A = this chain, B = another copy of it.
Amino acid sequence: MMESSSGISLARAEAFLRLFAILVLVLTACLLGFDTQTKLLFSTIKKTATFRDLGALQVVVYVDSVAAGYNLLQLGRGFISAKLKGKLINVSYVTLPWVCFLLDQAAVYTVFSVNTAALQGSIIAVTGESSLQWMKVCNRYTRFCIQVGGALLIGYLASLIMILLSSLSAFSLFRLYSPKQFLLLKPT
C-alpha cells in the first residue's frame, strides 16, 4: 500500500544501475588483471609487465572485484525486499535506508579513491618525475600502458555510476524526513 508505482520505478532504476556497475567493475578488473606485455631488455633478459608491478593497480583489481560483489549483494537485497515488501516494510522503515546509504557512501569513496591512486601512479609511469629520478616506463611497454589507461577510464565510469547510486540511496533515505524539522520523520 505504501509503495506506489513510482516506488517500484525507483527500485528498477537502482537495479539497472547496480547491474551496470557490476559489469563495468568486472570489466575494469579483468582489463587490468589480464594485461601483460613481455619485452626483451638488452637482448637477453625477458621482462613481463603485469598489474603486479605497480601496487596501486593491484589494489584496484581487488577493490573493484569486492565492489562488484557488494553491488551484487545489494541487487539481491533489492529483489528480496521487493518480494517481501509487505512484511519487511515496518522492520526496515528507516534502518535499512540508513544502512544502504552508509554502505553506498563507503563503497563509492573507496572505489573512487583507489581508481584515483592508480591514475596517479600511472601518470608517474607515463611522464616520469625527473626531480625524484623516477623514470618513464610507458615508452617501453606501450600496449600495456594503453590498456591500463582504458581500464582506468572504465573505472571512472564505474565510479560515476556508483556516485549516482549513492545519490539515489541518499534520496531514498532523506525523503523520509520532514522538510521543516531537523531529523524528524514524516508521518507515514
Contacts and interface: CB of A to CB of B under 8 A. Distances in A.
B109 A180 contact: no
Contacts of A132: 53-54, 125, 134, 137
A3 B181 CA distance: 8
A167 interface: yes
A42 interface: no
A124 to B, nearest CB: 7
A27 interface: no
A186 to B, nearest CB: 6
Contacts of A9: 182
> What's the number of copies of this chain in the assembled complex?
2
A171 B55 CA distance: 37
A123 interface: yes
Given A175-B177, A175-B179, A181-B6, A55 B123 contact: yes
B177 A171 contact: yes
Interface in A33-82: 52-56
A4 interface: yes
Interface in A106-126: 109, 112-114, 116-121, 123-125
A113 B163 CA distance: 14
Contacts of A2: 180
Contacts of A175: 174-175, 177-179
Contact of A112 (B10, B112, B124): B112
Q: Which 10 A-B pairs have the closest CB atoms?
A: A174-B174, A117-B120, A6-B182, A113-B116, A134-B134, A53-B131, A170-B170, A120-B120, A175-B177, A171-B174
12 contacts: A6-B184, A53-B131, A54-B131, A56-B120, A105-B163, A113-B113, A116-B120, A117-B120, A134-B135, A170-B170, A171-B177, A173-B174
